[in-house]
Amino acid sequence: MAEAGVTVERRFAAPRELVWALLSDTHRYNRALGMPLPRYSWREVEGRRQRVAEAKQGGIAMAWVEDPYEWIEGRLLVTRRQFLLGPASSGGLSVEVEDDDQGGCRARVTASGESRSWLLKLLGPLVRAQLRRRLEAYMDAVAQVAGGPANPVSADLGEPPAARAQALLGGMEVALASGQRTPIDAAELERRAGRLASAPVDPRAAKHLVEALSQRPDEEVAQMRPFELARQWGEDRRRVLQAFLHGTQAGLVDLDWQINCPVCRVSAQVVSSLAEVGRDLHCEACNIRYDVDFGANVEAVFRCNKAIRAVEPTVYCTASPAFRPHVVAQLRLEPGQARELSLPIADGRLHLRTLGTQRASDLCDEEPPARIEVEIGPEAVVARAEGRAEGGSTVFSLRSSLDEPAYLLVERGAWNSDAVLGSIVASLPDFVDLFATEAPAAGLELSIGRMTLLFSDLTGSTALYERVGDARAYAVVQEHFRVMEQAIGDHEGAVIKTMGDAVMASFSSTQKAVAAALQAVRETEARHGELGIGVKLGVHEGPCLAVRANDRLDFFGTTVNLTARLQGQAKAGELVMMREMVEIPAVAELVAGAPRHTVMARLKGIAEERELVAIDLRPRAG
């Protein structure tokens, strides 16, 4: 065998964590070094289920086992490939980054491999020279990114380094680090951008979107995440999401649904319609089947419309730490091994699990502990925390009692990614209005997690028809619906449907639903109080199911039924809620001083009596 290794060292005038995140992005690294685009599958190799990659380079077919990587955030990355086919027998990459005494850091990157081909053995010096040139050029590109203009996102220490690095790359034009840019149909982009300009969206958000489609590299517009881009652009998340939704209608982007695994948090499938989402899904990486939760697992992502740019998502390395910003460390333990190391832990809320056979343990203290003892056994991971950390590092004492190698993942338990989940879009009026027919397949129920629902009904409308006649009464009722829609929209809610004189709406929080109810009651009183009509409301929060009803998105379940029954307990001008909802501090502040009374009631669907609070939201005289 012939060993071919190249090591390049360099100093960077940038934070160690950020440099590590850029250098450990093996997706970009592999592409920059001219490695081929692989196809991945899972197979039984040597009696174990392993990830296998296949590719062609220079007409030569290659296949390799992609062993799980090992890394410690901000410090270390080790990758290994065992080749099943091709001129090489093995290969790997190691990245080591250390602080220096000048406020920057030093990085050492080593790319190595062994060849089974006599030709490569003869060409070894040339191969190593070419690899060194490419590696040095890539590190030059990383230096350009890391030492570029100050980026407010990169200074946010609450974000994982991988997320900060992605945000930094999104604001720069570094071809080697960012990839190619396919030709753009400028005329078509301009025409469709004109459609977006006439839509009810924030002009700055629309401008950012159009500029990204025209200027950013392929990989950044092949799968766009609105909240991630809102951080990069320094814009309001909701306004950016609205621009994307209207951009879909304008033909600038297409909406896809990415179904993320609840264990590894990585995409298991991408579909172009909710009708293609099934009840459950198999994650190949975790080898588990899980129920799909529309609110927690399904993410709205956007891709540039092909009439503007013909781009497709490409992944040069599925195992890259860049795709797993929530993972602080992924550590290999040999059979029976014990090891001790320090990890940079900023929050004591951690999730520890093993790859393959899923064993997990959770730590829930906000303060990082001084020491964590971890035992990996055949059935479980047991973790015990001790003391309080000083200096930003926690000592991990690890021990495995397994008779095979194990990989332990240390994950951030409190960090939420920039995902536009189903629970968010379902309460956005722009989505409900623009994508009314975007619903699950007929007969399929998708869990949507917890949502806040509001039900309202108009009181006194029957008598109004008798008093003022059909035409006048109909006009008043239609104006009432406009009042409800305005109040719901002003507080970031979405009208799901109307039923006679009743309205059903969804909100992202109970506080916003109550604020909308308050506005609706007072506006109704101001406009139509003298006609003897009013509005009564119920608000509740809980899990829902998303379904297709009359070819539209609809919700049902216990929360829906309870909210409707709470509204049924109300009188004109009243909002009825369960006691625990009223006691939410932000809600209590909104209704402070409003007259109220309580009643014990047994609602259908709840076995025991519950205490309900009826709050009179009508304005007080004087």
- 126-135 burial: b if 16+ Cβ within 10 Å, else e: ebbeebeebb
Specify whether 558 is located in the same domain as 457. Answer: yes
User: Distance between CA 318 and CA 341 in Å, rounded?
Assistant: 27
Domain stop point among 310, 341, 361: 310
Do the domain assignments include residue 92? Answer: yes
Determine the pLDDT at residue 154: 40
pLDDT in tens, 549-598: 777 778 878 888 889 989 999 999 999 999 999 999 999 999 998 999 98
Domain stop point among 310, 336, 357: 310
Q: Cβ(39)–Cβ(54) under 8 Å?
A: yes
Determine the pLDDT at residue 619: 87
Those residues whose C-beta lies under 8 Å from the C-beta of residue 573, and which sit 6 or more positions away, are 521, 525, 534, 535, 536, 616, 617, 618
Give the chain's domain count: 4
Specify whether 52 is located in the same domain as 147. Answer: yes
pLDDT < 70 positions in the chain: 1-4, 117-124, 148-158, 170-178, 436, 439, 442-443, 449, 604-607, 621-622
Specify whether 405 is located in the same domain as 440. Answer: no
User: Distance between CA 399 and CA 408 in Å, rounded?
Assistant: 10
- 582-603 burial: b if 16+ Cβ within 10 Å, else e: bebeebeebbeeeeeeeeeeeb
Specify whether 560 is located in the same domain as 585. Answer: yes
Specify whether 85 is located in the same domain as 219. Answer: no
Specify whether 461 is located in the same domain as 594. Answer: yes
What CATH number should be reported for the domain holding residue 204? Answer: 1.10.10
Determine the pLDDT at residue 155: 43
Burial of 500 (0-12, 13-18, 19+ CB in 10 A): exposed
Q: In Å, how far are 185, 309, 329, 573 from 214, measured between CA atoms?
A: 9, 9, 37, 52
What CATH number should be reported for the domain holding residue 94? Answer: 3.30.530.20
The residue count of the chain comes to: 622
Specify whether 249 is located in the same domain as 357. Answer: no
Q: Cβ(280)–Cβ(269) under 8 Å?
A: no
Determine the pLDDT at residue 157: 47
pLDDT in tens, 31-61: 888 888 899 998 888 888 889 999 998 888 9
Determine the pLDDT at residue 500: 85
Containing domain of residue 209, as a range?
A: 183-310
Q: Cβ(268)–Cβ(260) under 8 Å?
A: yes
Do the domain assignments include residue 249? Answer: yes
Specify whether 279 is located in the same domain as 394. Answer: no
Q: Three-class SS of residue 583? A: coil
What CATH number should be reported for the domain holding residue 436? Answer: 3.30.70.1230
Determine the pLDDT at residue 13: 92
DSSP labels, 169-231? HTT---HHHH-------HHHHHHHHHHHHTSSS-HHHHHHHHHHHHHS-HHHHHSB-HHHHHH
Q: Cβ(9)–Cβ(110) under 8 Å?
A: no
Quick one: DSSP state of residue 275? G
Specify whether 271 is located in the same domain as 358. Answer: no
Specify whether 336 is located in the same domain as 295. Answer: no
**H helices then E strands: how many in the chain?**
19, 29
User: Distance between CA 154 and CA 29 in Å, rounded?
Assistant: 20
Domain stop point among 257, 282, 310: 310
Do the domain assignments include residue 417? Answer: no
Specify whether 488 is located in the same domain as 598. Answer: yes
User: Distance between CA 431 and CA 414 in Å, rounded?
Assistant: 28
Specify whether 204 is located in the same domain as 120. Answer: no
pLDDT in tens, 126-162: 878 888 898 998 898 888 888 765 444 444 446 889 8
Q: Residue 2 carries which side chain, given as an amino acid letter?
A: A
